[in-house]
Each structure stands twice: as C-alpha cells, then as structure tokens.
C-alpha cells in the first residue's frame, strides 16, 4: 500500500559494488512527493548507479529502496509502472519521426493504438514540438533529441520521474528548454529526481539538493542553504598594484576567508567562508575607507568545485576528504 505521508522516493543505506568498485557506499535520500531532488556530484560519484537502482534496472547489494510506495526489489514491476526514466543517451529510433517514436513508446507501454496516437499528439503540442514531431529524428539537434527522449518518458504520465544528467553536453538554449520542461512537470505535481554536475542546474530546479561523492551523500539541504554554506567568490581588480596587499587585508577581514593575490592580473580573490555573506555595498565602502581604488569588483556564484572545496576541504579530483554527511538543514 502506498502511504501519502512517506517520501515518493526513498533510499536507505544503499550499497552497490561492481567488482572492486564501490559505486554506492550507504547512500541515503528521501524525496517528498511533488518535489524535485537534485543529485549533484562529479563524474563517477555514483549518480547513474543510484538512478539505475531506483529504476529497478540494478539490484542493490544492501539497503532499502522504495519508490511510489513500493519496494523496488520485491515489487519491481509496480515500481516500473509508476516511473519514467530519461538518460543522458537518448533511446530513440533515428529513422522515424518524433511522433512515431512517441507512438511506439505508447504501444510498448501497452496503450491502445488510438490512445498512443492521442498521447503522442498531446505531448508534442504541450512541449512545443508539434511541428518538429513530423520530421525524422535523424534531422534533430542534440537538444531536440534530449527533449523528445524526456517527453517519451512521460507517455504513461508517471508520478515519479528520473532524469539522469538531462542537460549534460547541451548548449545554453537547449538547457533552458529542458529546465522549463522540468519546471512544468514539477508544477504539475510530478516527483522528479534529476542528476547533474552543475550546481546552477540543481539550484534552479531542485527543492532539495543531495551532494554525492564516492557513493555517499556528503550534504543534503535546500539550494539556498547549500550556497550559504559554500559562500561565493569575490574578486577585486585594482588599477594600482601597490594596493594589492591592502586589498587582501580588507577582503580577508570582511569575509573571514584567505585572500589570494594574483600580481599579474592585479586581482585579489577570496572565497567567502560559510555563513558570511558579502554585500557588495559594504565591500565597496570598506575598500574606499582603506583608500583602495578598485577597477572592478565581481562576485561569482559558487560552482561544483567550490561545493567540493567547501564540503571536503579538497579539490574534487583528489577529494579523499571526509565521508561524514553535513546536514545543511541543521548546520545553517
């Protein structure tokens, strides 16, 4: 029986090993119904494995997995009926039209011929692909393929949707189109779990972010908390290189971070420490007070690299850091 108060997607202590590789090392996550969860992590973190376990394509070695009220191991068939899945590599037939692809998906999912046609038309119209729908998929751009693949996962109107790196490799405009599609689905009440390597993407789409590294969650919380905990990068470029040292002092004092001086670029950069937000006006005022003439002041939003630096204290290539999970919900 499904229980409305339980998360729509739930993983507890999930482990999965492929030979010597521990792809998942006790992954926990809980996604309330009707929300979007962003599984954020670098290549090899275990994102795809997590999605494959949730979608019942791979059985976990250990731990429990529940999706849409069903145990993913014991009731895999029920789970499959409740989910849609779109991956990084579109599973489309190149030699037929987009519309025929959707029709085929509908038939595969046991819709009647007529209903499958109707559903294909509905989806193409709703997501702005009505005209493109009559062209061969072979002629589609990468972004259109990805959108059609995503739409194909909606043929059965699944209440739970898994999207594995839906925008990796896409140009900015196609990325925005995918984002709009995900937002529309979320607004319609679909529970979405998407994986991504982009903090910005998780920030835009997710109600909650789970940062994964080496097969386990290293932080969980809403995007704002995560960004607060990471801080952002502030850089000041000077007209006069003699003022670099004074600028470094001001930046360190204001942010509590370690200011880095780049003499060649006449720039001082600092990553603000967790919990300290730097307001541009106060920065400008402080620099003024110290007699520093800034040519340019920039505040850059944190990236995935910054996330890993802040959470593990190590750059992500060498992120052998702590596997302890930071609960950002409580930390902030």
Ligand X SMILES: Nc1ncnc2c1ncn2[C@@H]1O[C@H](COP(=O)(O)OP(=O)(O)O)[C@@H](O)[C@H]1O
Residue 155 burial by Cβ neighbours in a 10 Å radius (0-12, 13-18, 19+): buried
Minimum separation from the CB atom of position 261 to Mg ion (A): 38
CA distances from 121 to 96, 108, 110, 179 (A): 15, 17, 17, 21
Identify which of residues 48 and 156 has a Cβ nearer to Mg ion in the complex: 48
Binding segment (CB under 5 A) for Mg ion, from list 1-9, 43-51, 242-250, 284-292? 43-51
- What does 23 interact with, of Mg ion, ligand X, none (CB < 5 to 8 A by kind)? ligand X
Tell whether residue 87 is a contact of ligand X (CB under 6 A).
no
Identify which of residues 2 and 43 has a Cβ nearer to ligand X in the complex: 43
Contact 7/54 with Cβ under 8 angstroms?
Answer: no
Select the residue interacting with Mg ion from 48, 174, 190, 272 (CB under 5 A).
48
Give dist(CA 98, CA 198) in Å, integer: 28
Select the residue interacting with ligand X from 2, 18, 138, 301 (CB under 6 A).
18
Tell whether residue 169 is a contact of ligand X (CB under 6 A).
no
Minimum separation from the CB atom of position 235 to ligand X (A): 30
Tell whether residue 49 is a contact of Mg ion (CB under 5 A).
no
Tell whether residue 46 is a contact of ligand X (CB under 6 A).
yes
Interacting residues with ligand X (CB under 6 A)? 18-19, 21, 23, 41, 43-49
Positions that interact with Mg ion (CB under 5 A) = 47-48
């Amino acid at each position: 029986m499904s229980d409305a108060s339980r998360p729509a997607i739930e993983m507890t202590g999930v482990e999965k090993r492929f030979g010597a590789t521990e792809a998942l090392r006790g992954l926990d996550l809980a996604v309330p119904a009707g929300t979007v969860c962003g599984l954020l992590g670098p290549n090899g973190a275990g994102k795809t494995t997590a999605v494959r376990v949730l979608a019942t394509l791979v059985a976990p070695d250990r731990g429990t997995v529940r999706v849409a009220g069903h145990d993913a191991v014991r009731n895999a068939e029920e789970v499959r009926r409740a989910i849609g899945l779109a991956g990084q590599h579109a599973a489309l037939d190149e030699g037929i039209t987009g519309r025929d692809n959707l029709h085929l998906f509908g038939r595969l999912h046991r819709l009647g011929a007529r209903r499958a046609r109707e559903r294909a038309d509905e989806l193409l119209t709703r997501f702005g692909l009505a005209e493109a729908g009559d062209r061969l998929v072979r002629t589609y751009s990468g972004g259109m393929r990805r959108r059609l693949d995503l739409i194909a996962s909606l043929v059965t109107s699944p209440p739970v949707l898994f999207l594995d790196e839906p925008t990796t490799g896409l140009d900015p405009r196609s990325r925005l189109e995918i984002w709009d599609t995900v937002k529309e689905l979320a607004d319609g009440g679909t529970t979405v779990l998407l994986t991504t390597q982009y903090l910005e993407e998780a920030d835009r789409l997710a109600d909650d972010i789970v940062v994964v590294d080496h097969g386990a969650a290293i932080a969980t919380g809403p995007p704002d908390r995560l960004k607060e905990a990471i801080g952002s990068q502030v850089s000041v470029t000077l007209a006069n290189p003699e003022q670099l040292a004074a600028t470094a002092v001001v930046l360190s004092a204001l942010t509590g971070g370690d200011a880095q001086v780049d003499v060649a670029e006449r720039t001082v950069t600092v990553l603000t420490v967790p919990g300290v937000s730097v307001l541009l006006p106060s920065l400008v005022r402080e620099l003024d007070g110290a007699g520093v003439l800034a040519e340019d002041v920039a505040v850059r939003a944190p990236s995935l690299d910054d996330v890993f630096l802040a959470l593990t204290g190590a750059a992500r290539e060498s992120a052998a850091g702590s596997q302890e999970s930071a609960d950002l919900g409580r930390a902030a």
